[in-house]
Amino acid sequence: MRTIVIEPEYEAWRAAARQLLAQGVAPEEVLWTDDAQEESLFVREEPAAAAAEQGASAIKVPAAFMDLARSVAAHTDARRWGMLYRVLWRLTRGAERHLLTMATDRDVRQLQDWSKAVGRDIHKMHAFVRFRLVGADAATGREQFVAWFEPEHRIVRLAAPFFEKRFAGMDWSILTPNECAHWDGTRLHFTAGVSRSSAPDEDALDDLWRTYYRNIFNPARVKISAMQSEMPKKYWKNLPEASLIAGLIAESTGRVRGMLETEERAAKPAPNNAYLKSLHAMNQSEAAAQNHESDPA
Amino acid sequence: MMDLTRKLEILADAAKYDASCASSGAARKDSRGGKGVGSTGGMGICHSYTPDGRCVSLMKVLMTNACLYDCHYCINRRSSNVTRARFTPDEVVQLTLDFYKRNYIEGLFLSSGIIRSADHTMELVIEVARKLREVHQFRGYIHLKTIPEASQDLIALAGRYADRISINVELPSQQSLNTLAPEKNLARTESAMGHIRGKIEERHAEKRKPDAPKPPPFATGQSTQMLVGADASTDAVILGCADKLYTSHRLRRVYYSAFSPIPEPSSILPLKAPPLIREHRLYQADWLLRFYDFKVEEIASAADPNLDLALDPKLSWALRNRATFPVDVNRAPRELLLRIPGLGVRNVERILAARRYTRLRLADLVRLRVQMKKLLPFITTADHHPAKLGLDSDSLRARFLPPPEQLEINFDAPPTPATSDFLSVRSGEF
């Protein structure tokens, strides 16, 4: 049994996995860890780099595996490195090249579940990041925005290119507890995580946004579970509109009762408008034509 | 002079009854190398959800809620006493940009009450889109509501700036429109949809010519909405209308919107509770038409024109067609796998891929997270043959009926949603 200590990143896992595979080390013989504290408990093993690299060049895996591995690597489950290596082993040494098409396989299913959780986390980051305007660059005049987000997995690098493409015309930073992403118009770069207090709490537009949210809600069709399945409560603390939710639900029954108790309005006559007259004339002649067509005589 | 907050209150409230909200399916574009903001082309993003379970993706507003028409289901009809307001084009442009830069929204959904004439109204709506695209290089999503009676040139111009355009059918027959929306005409709506389809396909064909210059942009799709429960139309009529629009005009989506109480009820259309379950079943049936190769007559026939509200339409079909089952998941062709209750399109693909290498057993299906309870009576696997009794039994239907529903809502501890409720009321996806 050997222990492999890596940085918790896809590239680090990939480099180590290539060497192990080239040396023919079976998955059962490896313990993986990305925990720096645990590291001191083990004797770090220096792989025989040169020999390993030679063998490694011959390793071929389906492109889909690389994508899957990159995504799984961002998950926080400590078992992911070992599982990735086991599936890599089965794909190559195990001669199960079709393995990834087997969604019924336990290992594949596990990797897909992790990948899906990471994908969902990225999607929710794209959706729920809220930028706050903090000023403008004195030299370029570009507006500067800062956001705070708390992802579940290590996804900042995977999620950031989306923001670069979408908000290329403004300067922005997205701060998270793990890692921060920054864009200045030319370069996307990353720095270490920070605490919540580094980010602004409010934006001048938040009130107008809440006005929109309050008024787009239809009190006559409350479906709280549908809302919560897509926007779980854990995100609410960083969403400016979420403070309205409880109140909107509480007053919805009364609002609908008010509608039901309102006296029904009679139809008003059509105003004197040329377009409306032409429309009514058109409708009448079309109705007449239709009647004529369906007339069996 | 009314302030912006008050206008937004009125004109968002006036737009909430339009169910469409998709922000997917646009051509790929982004703001790199430009001065503006925005990107489209991936899957749509829902930036928030309101307690009605609907997503907030686009900023959905009307240009004005003043309207010449008298559609009795609509809060903005001319007979309503609702407070009227009107945005200037610059106000909508600024709100869209401000909201977009804060990542509140994917873009703009702009509609309008009809004032002066169809062309005049279209011009107002188009002016907002033009400013966003040409003055501010906005690359986000724009959905414009169009009016069938507007000139073809204006509809073409709307399509140039928008990612999606739509015209609402509202009701599936002219007879219903005559009573509830006397200004609207189904034939003119369909003719305008046919024209838009022509434009979309024309551009698509231009794009595929190898050496031709890139054609000017045009919306990549059109959609529509039908109200459910405002008139007496059966589900068979509604689905028949939807099917016709999908096949003759290649619509991307038909949205079904349960008629729900409005603050200004009409004497011609009394208020009632919105038929939410019916709306949900219609979305499921719509899915069966588009992705499962079902025909309208199989789901809702002339003899039995309304969907079973207690069961999903696929399960309901299976119970009416028991002779088709059990289906062997290790051998059956794709089209038959798609007919199995509880089995979605993706899992059908997974089964087809996996069974090339292995004979599937129940444990394999469990790992695919299919709805086993629904599935079991209808399938055979290497280790499972449903008791003949099961399929023949009169009580089979009863096995699938939902338990009595809990009606009270406890906000702090919401009830665990049943799988069927869980899935978005809009998408109706299984």
Residue of B207 and B327 predicted with greater confidence? B327
Residue from B92, B102, B267, B406 whose CB has the most chain A CBs within 10 Å, to mutate: B102
Contact B32, A168 (CB under 8 A): yes
Confidence at A40, pLDDT banded by 50, 70, 90: low
In this predicted structure, what is the pLDDT of residue B421?
Answer: 37
In this predicted structure, what is the pLDDT of residue A41?
Answer: 52
Burial class (CB in 10 A: 0-12, 13-18, 19+), B404: exposed
Confidence at B427, pLDDT banded by 50, 70, 90: very low
In this predicted structure, what is the pLDDT of residue A296?
Answer: 57
In this predicted structure, what is the pLDDT of residue A36?
Answer: 61
Is the pLDDT confidence value at B419 over 50? no
Contact A172, A147 (CB under 8 A): yes
The answer for A 260-279 residues in CB contact with B (under 8 A) is: 260, 262, 264-268, 270-271, 273-276, 279
Q: A21-40: buried (b, 16+ CB within 10 Å) or exposed (e) per residue?
A: bbeebebeebebbbeeeeee
Residue of B305 and B26 predicted with greater confidence? B305
Judgement on whether residues B120 and B207 belong to the same structural domain of the protein: yes
In this predicted structure, what is the pLDDT of residue A51?
Answer: 47
Judgement on whether residues B45 and B193 belong to the same structural domain of the protein: yes
Domain total of chain B: 2
Residue B307 maps to a domain:
no
Shortest CA distance from B36: residue in chain A = A169
Contact B154, B122 (CB under 8 A): yes
Confidence at A288, pLDDT banded by 50, 70, 90: confident
In this predicted structure, what is the pLDDT of residue B404?
Answer: 62
Taking the CA of residue B342 and the nearest CA in chain A, the distance in Å comes to 17
- Subunit contact A267:B54, Cβ cutoff 8 A: no
Residue B366 maps to a domain:
yes
Instruction: Give me the residue from A209, A250, A280 closest to B104, CB to CB.
Output: A209
Query: Hey, is A254 helix, strand or coil?
Result: helix
Range A32-55 average pLDDT: 57
- Its ipTM equals 0.92
Judgement on whether residues B331 and B199 belong to the same structural domain of the protein: no
Is the pLDDT confidence value at B5 over 50? yes
Q: How far apart are CA B277 and CA B279, in angstroms?
A: 5
Judgement on whether residues B44 and B143 belong to the same structural domain of the protein: yes
Q: For residue B149, report the phi and psi dihedrals to the nearest 5 degrees.
A: -85, -5
Residue B220 maps to a domain:
yes
Percent of chain B whose pLDDT exceeds 90? 80
In this predicted structure, what is the pLDDT of residue B428?
Answer: 33
In this predicted structure, what is the pLDDT of residue B43?
Answer: 86
Percent of chain B whose pLDDT exceeds 70? 93
List pLDDT tens digits, range A91-127. Answer: 999 989 999 999 999 999 999 999 999 999 999 999 9
Is the pLDDT confidence value at A29 over 90? yes
Residue B318 maps to a domain:
yes
Residue B175 maps to a domain:
yes
Judgement on whether residues B17 and B146 belong to the same structural domain of the protein: yes
Q: How far apart are CA A173 and CA A183, in angstroms?
A: 6
Is the pLDDT confidence value at B387 over 50? yes
Distances (CA, A) of B49 to A41, A235, B340: 47, 11, 32
In this predicted structure, what is the pLDDT of residue A117?
Answer: 98
Is the pLDDT confidence value at B426 over 50? no
List pLDDT tens digits, range B245-299. Answer: 999 999 999 999 999 999 999 999 999 999 999 999 999 999 999 999 999 999 9
List pLDDT tens digits, range B64-81. Answer: 999 999 999 999 999 999
In this predicted structure, what is the pLDDT of residue B407?
Answer: 46
Q: How many CB pairs lie under 8 A apart between chains A and B? A: 259
Q: Which of B236, B269, B253 is nearest to B80 (CA)?
A: B269
Is the pLDDT confidence value at B226 over 80? yes
Confidence at A290, pLDDT banded by 50, 70, 90: confident
The answer for A 75-134 residues in CB contact with B (under 8 A) is: 98, 101-106, 109, 123, 126-133
Identify the weakest region by mean pLDDT among A50-59, B284-293, B391-400: A50-59
Judgement on whether residues B289 and B321 belong to the same structural domain of the protein: no
Judgement on whether residues B320 and B376 belong to the same structural domain of the protein: yes
Q: Could you tell me the residue range of the domain that residue B150 belongs to?
A: 4-262+271-299
Judgement on whether residues B293 and B328 belong to the same structural domain of the protein: no
Judgement on whether residues B183 and B76 belong to the same structural domain of the protein: yes
Taking the CA of residue B137 and the nearest CA in chain A, the distance in Å comes to 10
In this predicted structure, what is the pLDDT of residue A45?
Answer: 52
Is the pLDDT confidence value at B49 over 60? yes
Judgement on whether residues B284 and B346 belong to the same structural domain of the protein: no
In this predicted structure, what is the pLDDT of residue B277?
Answer: 95
Judgement on whether residues B193 and B109 belong to the same structural domain of the protein: yes
Question: In the predicted model, what is the mean pLDDT of chain B?
Answer: 90
In this predicted structure, what is the pLDDT of residue B401?
Answer: 83
Range A216-226 average pLDDT: 95
In this predicted structure, what is the pLDDT of residue A294?
Answer: 63
In this predicted structure, what is the pLDDT of residue A38?
Answer: 59
Identify the weakest region by mean pLDDT among A91-100, B140-149, B203-212, B395-404: B395-404
Is the pLDDT confidence value at B414 over 70? no
Amino acid present at B190 = E
Contact B228, B238 (CB under 8 A): yes
CATH code of B202's domain: 3.20.20.70
List pLDDT tens digits, range B173-222. Answer: 999 999 999 999 999 999 999 999 999 999 988 888 888 888 888 999 99
Judgement on whether residues B293 and B330 belong to the same structural domain of the protein: no
Q: Which of A186, A155, B354 is nearest to A174 (CA)?
A: A155
